[in-house]
Structures are given as C-alpha cells and as structure tokens.
Structure 1
Amino acid sequence: MTAMPIVLTGRLRQGEVGAWPVVGGLVAITIVFSTLNDRFLSPENLTNLALQMAATGTIALGVIMVLLLGEIDLSAGSVSGLCATVMTIAHVKQGWNALLAILLALAAGAAIGLLHGLMLTKLRMPSFVVTLAGLMGWLGLLLYLLRQGGTINLPFNGFISGLSDTWLPGRLSWALVLALAGAYAAISVLARRARLAAGLPVAPAWQAPVLSGGLAVVLGAAVAVMSADRGVPLLLVLFGALVVLLDLMLRHTTFGRHLYAVGGNAEAARRAGINVTRIRILAFVLASTLAAAGGVLAASRLSAVNQGSGGSDILLMAIATAVIGGTSLFGGRGRAYAALLGVLVIQSITNGMFLLSVDSSVRFMVTAAVLALAVAIDSLARRGAAR
C-alpha cells in the first residue's frame, strides 16, 4: 500500500512531476465551472468541448515535436491556415477528390517543414527567426490565394465537412474503450517483461492492471456522457488516434529516442553517433505536417476557409497547450499526451468562461496565469533534477 507514495516521492525528488499538476488543475477547473454553471458538465456542452479540442490539439502535437528539441515554431498557425486553403482550393475550385486534396494539404505542410528544417540546420538560422519569417510569409501567401473572394465554402454534405459531423455508434464507442484499455495493459506487460529481461528497473506488477482499469473508467465515463447527446465525435477519435500513435513513436522507435537525446544534449547526441541534422529536419517536417492536419480539421468544423484561418490566437493556444500539458520549453522532456491534457485545460477554461459570459480579456489573463504557472513548475522540476 505504501509503494505508490514512495514511487511518486522519488520521481518528484528527481524533478519528474509528470501529469499530476495538469490533472489537479483539470479537477479544480471542473469543480469551479460546474459550481458556477450547471450546464458545464451537460452532455451537449462536453460534446461541443470534444469537438473544439481536435484542431488546436493536433497543431499542439506538432509544436511538441520542436519543443522536445528545445526549439520553437511560430509558424504553426499560418501553416495550418495556408494548407487548409490549398486543400479547399484544390477540392472546390479545381475539382480534386476530397482525399487527394487532404493529401495535398499534408504534403504542402511537409514541404514547408522541410524548408524550415533546412534553413535551421544548413543556414544555421535560429528557429525563432525561421518560423517568425514563416508566420508572416505563409500568412501573406494565404491572403494572396484568397484575395478574390476572401472566403471559400466547402460542400456542406461533402467528405471534408462530414469529418466534423460524424458520430460513432454506441457499440463501436464501447468496443474502442475496451480495445484501448486492453491494448494499454498488453503494452505495459510486454514493456515490463522486456525491461526485466534487460535487467532494468521496472514498475510494480500491480501498476499495469490498475492504470488500465483507470483508463477504462475514464474513457467509459466520457463515452457515457457523450452518448447521452449525439455520441462520440469522429474528430475526437482522429485526434486521440494521433496522440496514441505519436506517443508510441516517441517512446518505442529509434527516431523518438534520438529526438529526446538531441533535445536533452545535442552535442552529446552527436558524439554518440546520432545524426542531429536529420533529427531536427524530421522534427520540423512532422511539426508542419501536423499543423496542416490541424488546419484540415479546423476547416472541416467551419465548412470553410477564410482570411482568418490559422490566425487569431490559434498559435498562442497551441504553444500554451503543449507547455501546460507538461512539455518542457528547454527540450528533452515531454509526451504526446501533453497535447491532450493541455488542450483539455485550455478549452475547459475557454468553454467555462463562455458559458459565464466572461469577457475575452479575462480569459486571456486567466490563460496567461495558467501558462506562467506551468512554466514555473517546469523550471522548478528542472532545478530539482539538477540537484
């Protein structure tokens, strides 16, 4: 019974606070807003909250890739808007098939990321300058492409718009819950056996079934609530799938391990034989591709693109989402799940204040305070790890 506190205390002493501050913040946000407005936890509002998470969360996943290197990407918002515009023009104006238009948008995002990565590694330009130039340049290209009409509407009943208006059947939703919980338990057991075989320290045997059971309860509660409204939205499933895939990639592939190594200490990684230039370029390619995917999801939700696509506070919210979720600004530490946790915090604050009719100025100040607190916790964690 005392194993869990001992494990947590040891991790905290090493500077590994994990997701506990974010989870605690989510609980506090839920209690406050549900007390002030009984509609906050209603099935309809929580379903809308799930829809709002997908686009920003997907862009934040890309931001996490460059933050793990200790770099920054200020162009993510502009890239998302530009690639969504390219997709919409190809589909609506040029008559491309919807899937081909989406692939074109993702390819455009990858090409932009490749350009950013080459400018960073070959020209030795700071990522701040590279992506700041990208923010302005890609926004200018977006405005140029939309100069005649300003807005292009997607077919209302088309495939792209249907992504945000598709809901999973109840049985399929429950099957996904069981599959995810079972897969998590299986992966945990296999990973534990592999570590034992390699003579590495392992977590207690009870941890895997307890965590998988907790995951099943949380996911089951979410499905039950959303099923009381329209059901589980496909957008949320797509975002969740991206989170799981990227987390597996970061933790169980050579690229993921090298990404953490370069972010932790680039010179040490180079001396260990890691191709630092290749890792940095791939990270920026992945970041811009995910920004493009976020733009596609945002266009699907609005059924249109316009001169404001990818603008407003999307970039700032994506960066805040990654940092609040637990990704270190100093590189080398973070998980893909940071996007899910961070976007839950950001969107819950936004949604709760909207229900209370709070002015947007207050929302920005509250979000800024939460972001500052997250960075402070990260700084304290690094100081603890150094000691």
Structure 2
Amino acid sequence: MRTEKRDWKKWAGKNSALIAFVALFILAAVLKGNMFLSLNNILNVLRNNSVIGIIALGMTLIIITGGIDLSVGSQLAFTGVIIIAVFNKTQSIIITVLAGAATALILGLATGILIARFNIPAFIMTLGSMSIYRSVAQYWLNGGGLMAKGDRSSVYLSISNTNLFGTIPMPIIIWLVAAAVIYIISWHTAVGRHIYAVGSNEKATQLASVNVVKVKCFAYTVSSLLVMLAALVETSRLGSVNSASSGSGYEMDAIAAAVIGGTSMAGGKGKIGFTILGTLTLGIINNMMNLLGVDSFLVSAVKGTIIIVAVLLQMILNKDS
C-alpha cells in the first residue's frame, strides 16, 4: 500500500501540469460549456496566449539552468520599438527580422556573459536590465507608441493576422513551431543535456569539463531570440508598439507558465511540453474569468496565487519521491 501511494505521488509530481490543465478544462466546460468549447473560443485562447507561450519557452530553459529573467516584458517593448522603426525605414520584412535578431543576440549574450562570467546574480542583473530596456524605449518614443506605416505595412500586419487554411491563426503556428525547435534542442542535443546538468549541479558539471559560461549564454541568447519572435508576433498583430505598456507583466506570466508546467525553480528540471500546458492553464483561467464576468483587477491576484500553489505542490509531491 505504501509503495502504491509513493508511486502515485511520484506520478502526480511528474504530471502535475497535465492534472491541472485537465481539471481546469473540465471545470471550464462544466461552467461555460457552450461558450468555452466553441471553436472560436478555443482558437482565441490559443492565439491570445501565443506571445506568452513563446516567451515561456525561453524562460523554461533559463529556469532549468537555475536562473531567472525578469526583463523579458521590457525587452519585448524595446525590441518591438526597434522592429517597427526598422520596418518603417526600410519597408523590408527580411531586414526587419535581421535587425530584431541582431538586437536579441546582443542583449542575450550580454546578459548571459554578465551573469555567467562575472557572477552577477540573475535576479539582480535582469531586474536592472528590465528598467534599462523600458526606460530607453520610453525615452526613444517620449513615452508614447509607434505604428507600422508605409506601402508594405499590410504585408507586415499579415504576419500575425493570417489564418492557415482559413482557420488557424498564424501566431498559434509560430508558437508551436518554436516549441518544436526548443523541444529538439532541450532533449536531443548535447547543449540541451548540458542545460539540465548545469541546473542540477553546476559545480559537478564544470568539473566534467562542460563550459558552464557557454551553456548559460546559450540559454539567455535563445530566450532573447524568442522574445524577439514574440515581439514580432505581437507588433504585427496590433500594428504598433507602446513603450509604456507593451510587454507589461509578461515576465510574471512566463514564469507562471513554466512553474505551473512543473519547471523547478531550483533548476535541473522542466519540460517544454508541460510549459505549453502551463501556458494553456493560465489561458483557460483568464478565459474563464472573462466568461464568468470576474473583475479584471483580480486576474493578477489569481495568477500570483497560482504560482505560490504550484511551487507548494511541487515541494509536497516531490518530497521523498
């Protein structure tokens, strides 16, 4: 009996993201079945959470290494300003994407080097960069926004406002493709295995001749590139970026998605597939609160509670398992 209980506890600990997702999905279906289960609503949930979903993929890699990134929301605003500014100047999608990618590479490498090489705590480093990115973006636009303009603006807007087969919004496709790439990297490459090793035991990994600095730089750089992709998706969907509000609170949502998905804040543990479930769990909660007419001011309180409960359950279910 004790063995069966331990086996169940171990299974629940490994699949807590799936349990939470299924439970909330059933609850939403019971409370608002016709509205919640409609194809349009399901697609809306997926599309509305695609940007957070993309960012959460990179956040998962960073947390697995034992780090954190509080700057992703502000970085999205900063990168979004650069993307739209370059597009308005060149009217070229290719140059715009290259400029965004170059910006992301510089920001990601700089963050990774300062954290890994100079041992600046990730919390402090990204807290500082969060303020820097937002401040520079606001200074650039005088606290306002920037719209995509020009003869080819419709092409830019079509990136996120086109439906595959006339049904599936492109942001969903972009999110799933990004997830597939990150899954392959994390589970089927040497650097992916090293990411988990660094998070599990950094000193032992270093003694095993693994370049920990390069591994951490890789994680932060990939995350930065994913933030750029998220910025491209969001700005092309809205046709604009706002230096004050774009990306606001996205770091909390990305961390919540990863943690709800079972990624351990202690590092060394996490799955990309479960991060997707964590993102969808947050999406269902937001959707349920909207359908039930719950005050929007309570959304952040609910998310904060979910993060605390998710971490608490991880500790309980994984204890002695």
Question: What TM-score do you get using the length of structure 1 for normalisation?
Answer: 0.77
Q: Is the 8 A contact 1:51 1:164 kept in 2?
A: no
In structure 1, what is the equivalent of residue 170 of structure 2?
Answer: 234
Say which of 58, 63, 69 aligns to 1:67.
63
Q: Is the 8 A contact 2:113 2:217 kept in 1?
A: yes
- How far apart are the structure 1 equivalents of 2:198 and 2:231? 28
In structure 2, what is the equivalent of residue 303 of structure 1?
Answer: 239
One-letter amino acid matched to 2:235: A
- How far apart are the structure 1 equivalents of 2:138 and 2:279? 28
One-letter amino acid matched to 2:36: F
The alpha carbon displacement at 1:163 in A equals: 1.9
Q: Is the 8 A contact 2:56 2:258 kept in 1?
A: yes
Q: Is the 8 A contact 2:91 2:153 kept in 1?
A: no
In structure 1, what is the equivalent of residue 107 of structure 2?
Answer: 112
In structure 2, what is the equivalent of residue 318 of structure 1?
Answer: 254
Q: Is the 8 A contact 2:196 2:269 kept in 1?
A: yes
Give the share of equivalent positions with the same residue, in percent.
28
Say which of 90, 95, 105 aligns to 1:95.
90
Does residue 23 (structure 1) correspond to residue 18 (structure 2)? The answer is yes
Does residue 78 (structure 1) correspond to residue 74 (structure 2)? The answer is yes
In structure 2, what is the equivalent of residue 134 of structure 1?
Answer: 129
Q: Is the 8 A contact 1:79 1:310 kept in 2?
A: no
One-letter amino acid matched to 1:131: T
- How far apart are the structure 2 equivalents of 1:271 and 1:149? 50
In structure 1, what is the equivalent of residue 316 of structure 2?
Answer: 380
Question: Any idea what the Cα deviations from partners look like across 1:165-200, whole Å, max 9, x if unmatched?
Answer: 21122xxxxxxxxxxxxxxxxxxxxxxxxxxxxxxx
Question: Any idea what the Cα deviations from partners look like across 1:250-295, whole Å, max 9, x if unmatched?
Answer: 1110100111111100010011111111111111111111111111
In structure 2, what is the equivalent of residue 159 of structure 1?
Answer: 155
The alpha carbon displacement at 1:10 in A equals: 4.4
Residues 238-257 of structure 1 aligned to structure 2 (within 5 Å) = 238-257=174-193
One-letter amino acid matched to 1:109: A
In structure 2, what is the equivalent of residue 33 of structure 1?
Answer: 28
In structure 2, what is the equivalent of residue 335 of structure 1?
Answer: 271
Does residue 55 (structure 1) correspond to residue 59 (structure 2)? The answer is no
- How far apart are the structure 1 equivalents of 2:44 and 2:162? 13
The alpha carbon displacement at 1:310 in A equals: 3.6
In structure 1, what is the equivalent of residue 141 of structure 2?
Answer: 146
- How far apart are the structure 2 equivalents of 1:237 and 1:123? 38
The alpha carbon displacement at 1:309 in A equals: 4.6
One-letter amino acid matched to 2:65: L
TM-aligned CA distance change 1:168 to 1:120, over 3 Å: same
Instruction: Indicate the SS of the match to 1:329.
Output: coil
- How far apart are the structure 1 equivalents of 2:23 and 2:319? 26
The alpha carbon displacement at 1:314 in A equals: 1.4
Q: Which moved more, 1:36-45 or 1:142-151?
A: 142-151
Highest CA radius of gyration, 1 or 2? 1
The alpha carbon displacement at 1:235 in A equals: 1.4
Question: What TM-score do you get using the length of structure 2 for normalisation?
Answer: 0.92
One-letter amino acid matched to 1:81: A
One-letter amino acid matched to 2:185: M
- How far apart are the structure 2 equivalents of 1:148 and 1:70? 34
RMSD: 2.2
Say which of 110, 116, 125 aligns to 2:120.
125
One-letter amino acid matched to 1:46: I
Give the number of aligned pairs.
Answer: 317
TM-aligned CA distance change 1:378 to 1:113, over 3 Å: same
- How far apart are the structure 1 equivalents of 2:143 and 2:185? 42
- How far apart are the structure 2 equivalents of 1:142 and 1:128? 21
Question: Any idea what the Cα deviations from partners look like across 1:286-309, whole Å, max 9, x if unmatched?
Answer: 111111111111112212111235
Unaligned runs of 5+ in 2: none
Does residue 279 (structure 1) correspond to residue 215 (structure 2)? The answer is yes
